Protein backbone atom coordinates (compact mmCIF):
# COMPACT_ATOMS: atom_id res chain seq x y z
CA UNK A 1 0.00 0.00 0.00
CA UNK A 2 1.18 3.53 -0.73
CA UNK A 3 1.20 6.35 1.80
CA UNK A 4 0.73 9.62 -0.03
CA UNK A 5 0.95 12.95 1.76
CA UNK A 6 -1.10 15.82 0.38
CA UNK A 7 -0.71 19.33 1.74
CA UNK A 8 -3.30 21.93 0.83
CA UNK A 9 -2.00 25.47 0.52
CA UNK A 10 -5.13 27.59 0.26
CA UNK A 11 -3.69 30.82 -1.11
CA UNK A 12 -3.90 32.36 -4.56
CA UNK A 13 -2.99 35.80 -5.83
CA UNK A 14 -6.54 36.20 -7.11
CA UNK A 15 -9.56 33.93 -7.47
CA UNK A 16 -10.17 32.57 -10.99
CA UNK A 17 -13.72 32.95 -12.30
CA UNK A 18 -14.40 29.19 -12.56
CA UNK A 19 -12.68 28.05 -9.36
CA UNK A 20 -14.50 26.35 -6.49
CA UNK A 21 -11.38 25.09 -4.71
CA UNK A 22 -10.58 26.25 -1.19
CA UNK A 23 -8.33 29.14 -2.15
CA UNK A 24 -8.23 32.87 -1.55
CA UNK A 25 -5.83 35.83 -1.54
CA UNK A 26 -4.18 36.35 1.85
CA UNK A 27 -1.83 38.69 3.62
CA UNK A 28 1.31 37.93 5.59
CA UNK A 29 -0.57 37.48 8.88
CA UNK A 30 -2.92 34.81 7.54
CA UNK A 31 -0.08 33.01 5.80
CA UNK A 32 1.88 33.05 9.06
CA UNK A 33 -1.08 31.59 10.96
CA UNK A 34 -1.49 28.90 8.35
CA UNK A 35 2.17 27.87 8.41
CA UNK A 36 2.15 27.70 12.19
CA UNK A 37 -1.06 25.63 12.19
CA UNK A 38 0.23 23.31 9.47
CA UNK A 39 3.30 22.51 11.54
CA UNK A 40 1.00 21.95 14.52
CA UNK A 41 -1.16 19.57 12.49
CA UNK A 42 1.90 17.61 11.36
CA UNK A 43 3.04 17.27 14.99
CA UNK A 44 -0.45 16.29 16.18
CA UNK A 45 -1.11 13.74 13.46
CA UNK A 46 2.35 12.17 13.22
CA UNK A 47 2.41 11.60 17.01
CA UNK A 48 -0.42 9.07 16.47
CA UNK A 49 1.07 7.32 13.44
CA UNK A 50 3.10 4.12 13.30
CA UNK A 51 6.58 4.23 11.69
CA UNK A 52 5.13 2.36 8.67
CA UNK A 53 2.38 4.93 8.27
CA UNK A 54 4.89 7.78 8.48
CA UNK A 55 6.97 6.26 5.70
CA UNK A 56 5.83 8.33 2.72
CA UNK A 57 5.67 7.07 -0.86
CA UNK A 58 4.83 10.44 -2.43
CA UNK A 59 4.32 14.07 -1.45
CA UNK A 60 2.08 16.56 -3.21
CA UNK A 61 1.75 20.25 -2.36
CA UNK A 62 -1.45 21.47 -4.01
CA UNK A 63 -3.84 24.30 -3.71
CA UNK A 64 -4.52 27.02 -4.21
CA UNK A 65 -1.17 28.10 -5.53
CA UNK A 66 1.71 26.74 -3.42
CA UNK A 67 4.14 28.88 -5.39
CA UNK A 68 2.52 32.08 -4.16
CA UNK A 69 4.45 31.34 -0.94
CA UNK A 70 8.05 32.52 -0.91
CA UNK A 71 11.08 30.20 -0.94
CA UNK A 72 11.59 30.48 2.79
CA UNK A 73 7.96 29.59 3.57
CA UNK A 74 8.04 26.63 1.17
CA UNK A 75 11.36 25.56 2.66
CA UNK A 76 9.83 25.57 6.14
CA UNK A 77 7.04 23.26 4.99
CA UNK A 78 9.58 20.87 3.48
CA UNK A 79 11.68 20.95 6.65
CA UNK A 80 8.57 20.20 8.72
CA UNK A 81 7.68 17.23 6.51
CA UNK A 82 11.19 15.84 7.06
CA UNK A 83 10.87 16.39 10.80
CA UNK A 84 7.53 14.67 11.31
CA UNK A 85 7.49 12.01 8.58
CA UNK A 86 9.94 9.68 6.86
CA UNK A 87 10.81 11.05 3.43
CA UNK A 88 12.69 8.30 1.56
CA UNK A 89 15.10 9.31 -1.20
CA UNK A 90 13.71 9.08 -4.71
CA UNK A 91 9.99 9.41 -3.96
CA UNK A 92 7.91 11.67 -6.18
CA UNK A 93 7.54 15.15 -4.67
CA UNK A 94 5.24 17.46 -6.63
CA UNK A 95 4.46 21.12 -6.18
CA UNK A 96 1.62 22.79 -8.07
CA UNK A 97 2.55 26.10 -9.59
CA UNK A 98 1.01 29.02 -11.39
CA UNK A 99 3.15 30.49 -14.19
CA UNK A 100 2.50 33.99 -12.82
CA UNK A 101 4.25 33.17 -9.53
CA UNK A 102 7.48 31.55 -10.71
CA UNK A 103 11.00 32.90 -10.41
CA UNK A 104 14.24 31.10 -11.18
CA UNK A 105 15.39 31.53 -7.61
CA UNK A 106 12.19 30.02 -6.18
CA UNK A 107 12.39 27.07 -8.58
CA UNK A 108 16.04 26.42 -7.71
CA UNK A 109 15.18 26.50 -4.03
CA UNK A 110 12.36 24.01 -4.57
CA UNK A 111 14.74 21.64 -6.33
CA UNK A 112 17.23 21.98 -3.48
CA UNK A 113 14.47 21.24 -0.99
CA UNK A 114 13.81 17.90 -2.72
CA UNK A 115 10.93 18.76 -5.06
CA UNK A 116 11.36 16.76 -8.27
CA UNK A 117 8.10 17.33 -10.12
CA UNK A 118 6.36 20.55 -11.01
CA UNK A 119 2.72 20.71 -12.06
CA UNK A 120 2.01 24.00 -13.77
CA UNK A 121 -1.58 25.19 -14.26
CA UNK A 122 -1.42 26.89 -17.64
CA UNK A 123 -4.99 26.11 -18.81
CA UNK A 124 -4.75 27.80 -22.25
CA UNK A 125 -2.31 29.52 -24.57
CA UNK A 126 -4.65 32.30 -25.71
CA UNK A 127 -4.56 35.55 -23.77
CA UNK A 128 -8.25 36.25 -24.39
CA UNK A 129 -9.23 32.87 -22.89
CA UNK A 130 -6.84 33.31 -19.96
CA UNK A 131 -8.39 36.72 -19.26
CA UNK A 132 -11.92 35.28 -19.46
CA UNK A 133 -10.94 32.54 -16.99
CA UNK A 134 -9.61 35.19 -14.62
CA UNK A 135 -6.08 33.74 -14.65
CA UNK A 136 -3.24 35.98 -13.48
CA UNK A 137 -0.79 34.76 -16.12
CA UNK A 138 -0.55 35.36 -19.86
CA UNK A 139 0.75 33.24 -22.72
CA UNK A 140 4.31 34.58 -22.50
CA UNK A 141 4.56 33.53 -18.84
CA UNK A 142 4.07 29.88 -19.80
CA UNK A 143 7.21 29.34 -21.88
CA UNK A 144 9.18 31.54 -19.45
CA UNK A 145 8.02 29.35 -16.56
CA UNK A 146 8.88 26.10 -18.34
CA UNK A 147 12.31 27.43 -19.40
CA UNK A 148 13.06 28.49 -15.82
CA UNK A 149 11.88 25.13 -14.46
CA UNK A 150 14.26 23.30 -16.80
CA UNK A 151 17.09 25.65 -15.88
CA UNK A 152 16.41 24.98 -12.22
CA UNK A 153 16.76 21.25 -12.91
CA UNK A 154 13.19 19.97 -13.12
CA UNK A 155 13.15 16.88 -15.34
CA UNK A 156 9.51 16.02 -14.67
CA UNK A 157 6.95 18.63 -15.67
CA UNK A 158 3.18 18.44 -15.90
CA UNK A 159 1.04 21.06 -17.55
CA UNK A 160 -2.70 21.35 -16.84
CA UNK A 161 -4.90 22.47 -19.71
CA UNK A 162 -8.66 23.10 -19.83
CA UNK A 163 -10.98 22.39 -22.74
CA UNK A 164 -14.66 23.19 -23.08
CA UNK A 165 -14.11 26.81 -22.00
CA UNK A 166 -17.08 28.98 -23.02
CA UNK A 167 -16.13 30.62 -26.31
CA UNK A 168 -13.12 28.33 -26.93
CA UNK A 169 -12.86 27.05 -30.49
CA UNK A 170 -11.51 23.71 -31.69
CA UNK A 171 -8.66 25.59 -33.40
CA UNK A 172 -7.68 27.20 -30.11
CA UNK A 173 -7.72 23.86 -28.31
CA UNK A 174 -5.61 22.23 -30.99
CA UNK A 175 -3.20 25.15 -30.83
CA UNK A 176 -2.92 24.86 -27.02
CA UNK A 177 -2.16 21.14 -27.20
CA UNK A 178 0.44 21.62 -29.93
CA UNK A 179 2.16 24.45 -28.03
CA UNK A 180 2.18 22.45 -24.82
CA UNK A 181 3.79 19.47 -26.53
CA UNK A 182 6.33 21.77 -28.23
CA UNK A 183 7.50 22.81 -24.76
CA UNK A 184 8.76 19.25 -24.27
CA UNK A 185 6.84 18.28 -21.14
CA UNK A 186 6.64 14.80 -19.57
CA UNK A 187 3.00 14.83 -18.48
CA UNK A 188 -0.18 16.60 -19.50
CA UNK A 189 -3.56 16.74 -17.78
CA UNK A 190 -6.52 17.86 -19.89
CA UNK A 191 -9.66 18.69 -17.91
CA UNK A 192 -13.04 19.79 -19.19
CA UNK A 193 -14.34 22.98 -17.64
CA UNK A 194 -17.23 22.52 -15.23
CA UNK A 195 -19.36 25.48 -14.27
CA UNK A 196 -19.48 25.03 -10.51
CA UNK A 197 -22.01 26.61 -8.17
CA UNK A 198 -20.77 29.56 -6.15
CA UNK A 199 -18.36 30.75 -8.83
CA UNK A 200 -18.58 33.95 -10.90
CA UNK A 201 -18.95 31.68 -13.95
CA UNK A 202 -22.05 30.11 -12.42
CA UNK A 203 -23.50 33.53 -11.60
CA UNK A 204 -22.96 34.66 -15.18
CA UNK A 205 -24.48 31.40 -16.45
CA UNK A 206 -27.59 31.85 -14.28
CA UNK A 207 -28.05 35.39 -15.62
CA UNK A 208 -27.73 34.15 -19.19
CA UNK A 209 -24.41 35.93 -19.69
CA UNK A 210 -22.33 32.80 -20.20
CA UNK A 211 -22.98 30.11 -22.80
CA UNK A 212 -21.42 26.76 -21.90
CA UNK A 213 -19.42 24.89 -24.50
CA UNK A 214 -21.65 22.58 -26.56
CA UNK A 215 -21.40 18.94 -25.50
CA UNK A 216 -20.64 17.83 -29.03
CA UNK A 217 -17.68 20.20 -29.32
CA UNK A 218 -16.41 19.20 -25.88
CA UNK A 219 -16.48 15.54 -26.90
CA UNK A 220 -14.72 16.36 -30.16
CA UNK A 221 -12.00 18.17 -28.18
CA UNK A 222 -11.58 15.22 -25.84
CA UNK A 223 -11.32 12.65 -28.61
CA UNK A 224 -8.88 14.86 -30.50
CA UNK A 225 -6.76 15.15 -27.35
CA UNK A 226 -6.45 11.38 -27.07
CA UNK A 227 -5.46 10.91 -30.70
CA UNK A 228 -3.09 13.87 -30.83
CA UNK A 229 -1.23 13.09 -27.61
CA UNK A 230 -0.92 9.42 -28.54
CA UNK A 231 0.59 10.45 -31.87
CA UNK A 232 3.14 12.50 -29.88
CA UNK A 233 4.24 9.49 -27.81
CA UNK A 234 2.11 10.10 -24.71
CA UNK A 235 0.51 7.22 -22.86
CA UNK A 236 -3.16 7.91 -22.15
CA UNK A 237 -3.19 6.26 -18.73
CA UNK A 238 -6.15 7.92 -17.00
CA UNK A 239 -9.32 9.53 -18.35
CA UNK A 240 -7.78 13.03 -18.27
CA UNK A 241 -4.07 12.27 -17.89
CA UNK A 242 -1.30 11.59 -20.39
CA UNK A 243 2.35 10.82 -19.71
CA UNK A 244 5.54 9.86 -21.46
CA UNK A 245 6.39 6.24 -20.54
CA UNK A 246 7.36 6.00 -16.87
CA UNK A 247 6.25 9.56 -16.06
CA UNK A 248 2.75 8.74 -14.82
CA UNK A 249 1.95 10.65 -11.62
CA UNK A 250 2.77 8.27 -8.76
CA UNK A 251 0.88 10.41 -6.26
CA UNK A 252 -2.32 10.56 -8.29
CA UNK A 253 -2.09 6.81 -8.91
CA UNK A 254 -2.58 6.42 -5.14
CA UNK A 255 -6.06 7.95 -5.51
CA UNK A 256 -6.99 5.89 -8.55
CA UNK A 257 -5.70 2.65 -7.02
CA UNK A 258 -7.66 3.51 -3.87
CA UNK A 259 -4.63 3.38 -1.61
CA UNK A 260 -3.96 5.29 1.60
CA UNK A 261 -3.34 9.03 1.72
CA UNK A 262 -3.14 11.68 4.38
CA UNK A 263 -4.31 15.22 3.64
CA UNK A 264 -3.18 18.19 5.75
CA UNK A 265 -4.27 21.81 5.59
CA UNK A 266 -7.70 23.48 5.34
CA UNK A 267 -10.26 21.38 3.48
CA UNK A 268 -7.85 18.49 2.89
CA UNK A 269 -9.28 14.97 2.79
CA UNK A 270 -7.67 11.76 3.98
CA UNK A 271 -8.36 8.10 3.38
CA UNK A 272 -6.72 6.52 6.35
CA UNK A 273 -7.25 3.52 8.62
CA UNK A 274 -10.54 2.74 6.87
CA UNK A 275 -11.87 6.20 7.51
CA UNK A 276 -12.45 9.11 5.19
CA UNK A 277 -11.86 12.38 6.98
CA UNK A 278 -11.99 16.03 6.02
CA UNK A 279 -10.40 19.08 7.60
CA UNK A 280 -12.45 22.25 8.14
CA UNK A 281 -12.75 24.27 4.96
CA UNK A 282 -12.04 27.64 6.54
CA UNK A 283 -8.64 28.82 7.66
CA UNK A 284 -10.12 30.25 10.86
CA UNK A 285 -11.65 26.97 12.05
CA UNK A 286 -8.56 25.02 11.01
CA UNK A 287 -6.23 27.34 12.92
CA UNK A 288 -8.51 27.41 15.98
CA UNK A 289 -8.74 23.62 16.14
CA UNK A 290 -5.02 23.15 16.04
CA UNK A 291 -4.23 25.95 18.47
CA UNK A 292 -6.54 24.27 21.01
CA UNK A 293 -5.03 20.82 20.41
CA UNK A 294 -8.12 19.50 18.59
CA UNK A 295 -7.65 17.15 15.65
CA UNK A 296 -8.94 19.17 12.71
CA UNK A 297 -9.99 16.09 10.71
CA UNK A 298 -13.62 15.02 11.09
CA UNK A 299 -14.71 11.53 10.11
CA UNK A 300 -17.02 11.73 7.11
CA UNK A 301 -17.36 8.05 6.43
CA UNK A 302 -16.27 4.68 7.75
CA UNK A 303 -14.88 2.80 4.77
CA UNK A 304 -16.51 -0.61 5.01
CA UNK A 305 -15.27 -3.45 2.78
CA UNK A 306 -18.31 -2.83 0.53
CA UNK A 307 -17.39 0.85 0.13
CA UNK A 308 -13.72 0.00 -0.43
CA UNK A 309 -14.65 -2.51 -3.14
CA UNK A 310 -16.97 -0.06 -4.90
CA UNK A 311 -14.31 2.67 -4.79
CA UNK A 312 -11.63 0.32 -6.06
CA UNK A 313 -13.87 -0.41 -9.04
CA UNK A 314 -14.92 3.07 -10.07
CA UNK A 315 -11.59 4.73 -9.29
CA UNK A 316 -9.66 1.91 -10.98
CA UNK A 317 -11.82 2.20 -14.07
CA UNK A 318 -10.52 5.74 -14.49
CA UNK A 319 -7.22 4.12 -15.49
CA UNK A 320 -7.09 3.04 -19.11
CA UNK A 321 -5.51 -0.26 -18.08
CA UNK A 322 -8.48 -0.70 -15.75
CA UNK A 323 -8.94 -2.82 -12.65
CA UNK A 324 -6.58 -5.74 -12.02
CA UNK A 325 -9.07 -8.48 -11.15
CA UNK A 326 -6.48 -10.76 -9.48
CA UNK A 327 -5.31 -7.88 -7.25
CA UNK A 328 -8.97 -7.26 -6.38
CA UNK A 329 -9.34 -10.88 -5.17
CA UNK A 330 -6.14 -10.62 -3.15
CA UNK A 331 -7.28 -7.41 -1.51
CA UNK A 332 -10.90 -8.31 -0.77
CA UNK A 333 -11.01 -12.13 -0.85
CA UNK A 334 -13.83 -12.11 -3.38
CA UNK A 335 -14.03 -11.87 -7.19
CA UNK A 336 -15.22 -8.58 -8.63
CA UNK A 337 -17.27 -10.61 -11.14
CA UNK A 338 -19.15 -12.22 -8.23
CA UNK A 339 -19.94 -8.87 -6.59
CA UNK A 340 -20.63 -6.78 -9.68
CA UNK A 341 -21.46 -9.47 -12.26
CA UNK A 342 -24.69 -7.85 -13.40
CA UNK A 343 -23.18 -4.39 -13.93
CA UNK A 344 -20.06 -5.78 -15.59
CA UNK A 345 -22.05 -7.99 -18.00
CA UNK A 346 -24.43 -5.15 -18.80
CA UNK A 347 -21.65 -2.72 -19.75
CA UNK A 348 -19.62 -5.40 -21.57
CA UNK A 349 -22.74 -6.18 -23.64
CA UNK A 350 -23.18 -2.48 -24.39
CA UNK A 351 -19.54 -2.20 -25.48
CA UNK A 352 -18.58 0.27 -22.72
CA UNK A 353 -16.40 -2.17 -20.70
CA UNK A 354 -14.14 -4.97 -21.78
CA UNK A 355 -12.26 -7.77 -20.03
CA UNK A 356 -8.76 -8.41 -21.30
CA UNK A 357 -5.79 -10.22 -19.79
CA UNK A 358 -7.29 -10.22 -16.32
CA UNK A 359 -8.20 -6.54 -16.38
CA UNK A 360 -11.55 -4.83 -16.67
CA UNK A 361 -11.39 -1.49 -18.42
CA UNK A 362 -13.40 1.10 -20.28
CA UNK A 363 -13.50 0.77 -24.06
CA UNK A 364 -12.89 3.72 -26.35
CA UNK A 365 -16.66 4.00 -26.62
CA UNK A 366 -16.96 3.86 -22.83
CA UNK A 367 -14.39 6.58 -22.05
CA UNK A 368 -16.68 9.56 -22.72
CA UNK A 369 -19.48 7.75 -20.84
CA UNK A 370 -17.32 6.89 -17.84
CA UNK A 371 -19.59 8.59 -15.30
CA UNK A 372 -22.54 6.48 -16.39
CA UNK A 373 -20.47 3.32 -15.86
CA UNK A 374 -19.11 4.46 -12.49
CA UNK A 375 -22.62 5.00 -11.12
CA UNK A 376 -23.30 1.28 -11.41
CA UNK A 377 -20.56 0.57 -8.86
CA UNK A 378 -21.48 3.21 -6.29
Classify the C-alpha dihedral 218-345-1-84 as positive or negative. positive
Judged by CB, which is closer to ligand SF4: 100, or 322?
100
Q: How many residues bind ligand SF4 (CB under 6 A)?
A: 11
Q: Which of residues 11-70 bind ligand SF4 (CB under 6 A)?
A: 12, 15-16, 19, 21, 23, 63-65
Spatial contact of 39 and 83, defined as CB atoms under 8 Å apart = no
Q: 3-class DSSP state for residue 280?
A: coil
DSSP assignments along 150-218, one per residue:
HHHT---EEEEEEE--TT--HHHHHHHHHHHHHTT-SEEEEEE----TTSHHHHHHHTT--PPPPHHHH
What does the per-residue mask of binding to ligand SF4 show for 315-344, with x meaning CB under 6 A?
Answer: ------------------------------
Quick one: which of 334, 261, 275, 324 has its CA closest to 303? 275
Judged by CB, which is closer to ligand SF4: 268, or 336?
268
Judged by CB, which is closer to ligand SF4: 121, or 316?
121
Q: Which of residues 190-249 bind ligand SF4 (CB under 6 A)?
A: none
Burial class for 114, CB neighbours closer than 10 Å (0-12, 13-18, 19+):
middle
Quick one: which of 162, 173, 165, 177 has its CA closest to 213? 165
How far is 293 from 165, CA to CA, in rounded Å? 44
Q: Which of residues 69-108 bind ligand SF4 (CB under 6 A)?
A: 98
Judged by CB, which is closer to ligand SF4: 9, or 309?
9
CB of 14 to ligand SF4, least distance (A): 7
Judged by CB, which is closer to ligand SF4: 4, or 64?
64
CB of 13 to ligand SF4, least distance (A): 8
CB of 136 to ligand SF4, least distance (A): 7
Which residues contact ligand SF4 by CB under 6 A? 12, 15-16, 19, 21, 23, 63-65, 98, 121
Amino acid sequence: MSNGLYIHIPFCIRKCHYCDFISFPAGAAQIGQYLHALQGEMALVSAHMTPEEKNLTSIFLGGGTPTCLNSCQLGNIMANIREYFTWPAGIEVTVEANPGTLTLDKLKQLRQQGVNRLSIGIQAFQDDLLAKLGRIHRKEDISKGVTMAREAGFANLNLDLIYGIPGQTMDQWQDSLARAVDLGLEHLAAYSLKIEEGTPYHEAYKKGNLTPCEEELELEMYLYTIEFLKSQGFHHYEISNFALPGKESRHNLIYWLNHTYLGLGPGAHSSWRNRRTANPGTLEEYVTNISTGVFPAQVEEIITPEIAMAETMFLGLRLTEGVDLEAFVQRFGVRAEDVYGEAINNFVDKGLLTLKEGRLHLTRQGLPLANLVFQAFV
